[in-house]
Amino acid sequence: MRVLNAAQMREADRRTIEEIGIPSLVLMENAGRQVVAAIDAIHGELLDGRVGILCGHGNNGGDGFVVARTLLQRGVDVSVFLIGSVADVRGDARRHRQLALEGCAVFYSGG
């Protein structure tokens, strides 16, 4: 497995979006769902309790919102903690935040 630094990941995302034609919204959806699959495979027993998701305002936060929504759809008790201001969440991350918020009983914001 190859591990990318931040600049390499941005370039990989850019190429995937611009050259292959997969929208950023879909990339976030896929990333978040794969995180849930990894959690389930490695620590599935943790999904029987309450799960907290920390999200920033950028694209990684968007991935976190997908994780929260996916867990909610599976019936997991999820709390989402936004680090920063809601106003700073933009673009596709904002859309995924809105989708997660619709199903989340507890949503905390730090700003």
Q: Digits of tens for pLDDT over the chain (111 positions)?
A: 789 998 998 899 999 999 999 999 999 999 999 999 999 999 988 888 888 999 998 888 999 999 999 999 998 988 889 988 889 999 999 999 988 887 665 566 665
In angstroms, rounded to a whole number, what is the distance separating the alpha carbons of residues 61 and 95? 11
Q: Judging by beta carbons within 10 Å of its beta carbon (0-12, 13-18, 19+), is residue 48 exposed, middle or buried? A: exposed
CATH classification of 6-109 is 3.40.50.10260, yes or no? yes
Domain extent listing, the chain: 6-109
Taken in order 90, 96, 102, 106, the sign of the CA dihedral is negative
Report residue 54: phi and psi, to 5°. -95, 125
